[in-house]
Amino acid sequence: MTSIALDDTISLGDRTVRRLGFGAMRITGEGIWGPPKDHDEAVAVLRRAVELGINLIDTADSYGPDVSENLIAEALFPYPNDLVIATKGGLLRPGPGRWDEDGRPEHLREACEGSLRRLKLDRIFLYQFHRPDPSVPFEESVGALAELQLEGKIAHVGLSNVTVDELRRAQGIVPIVSVQNRYNIVERDDEDVLEACEGDGLAFIPWFPLKTGQLAKDGGAAAEVAKAHDAAPAQVALAWLLAHSRAVLPIPGTSSVAHLEENVAAAGLRLTDDEVQRLDRAR
What residues are annotated to the active site? Answer: 63
**Core vs surface per residue 77-98: b (16+ CB within 10 A) or e:** eebeeebbbbbbbbbbbeeeee
β-strands 124-129, 154-160: how paired?
A: parallel
Question: Would you give the end-to-end CA distance of the chain in angstroms?
Answer: 31
In degrees and rounded to multiples of 5, residue 23 shows phi and psi of -95, 120
| DSSP 8-state code for residue 212 | -
Asked if 19 contacts 9 with a C-beta cutoff of 8 angstroms, the reply is yes
Q: Is 262 left (phi over 0), alpha (psi -120 to 50) or beta?
A: alpha
| DSSP 8-state code for residue 47 | H
**What is the C-alpha separation between 231 and 270, in angstroms, rounded?**
11
**What is the C-alpha separation between 64 and 67, in angstroms, rounded?**
5
**What is the C-alpha separation between 150 and 261, in angstroms, rounded?**
39
| DSSP 8-state code for residue 256 | -
Asked if 205 contacts 251 with a C-beta cutoff of 8 angstroms, the reply is yes
User: 78 preceded by cis ω (within 30°)?
Assistant: yes
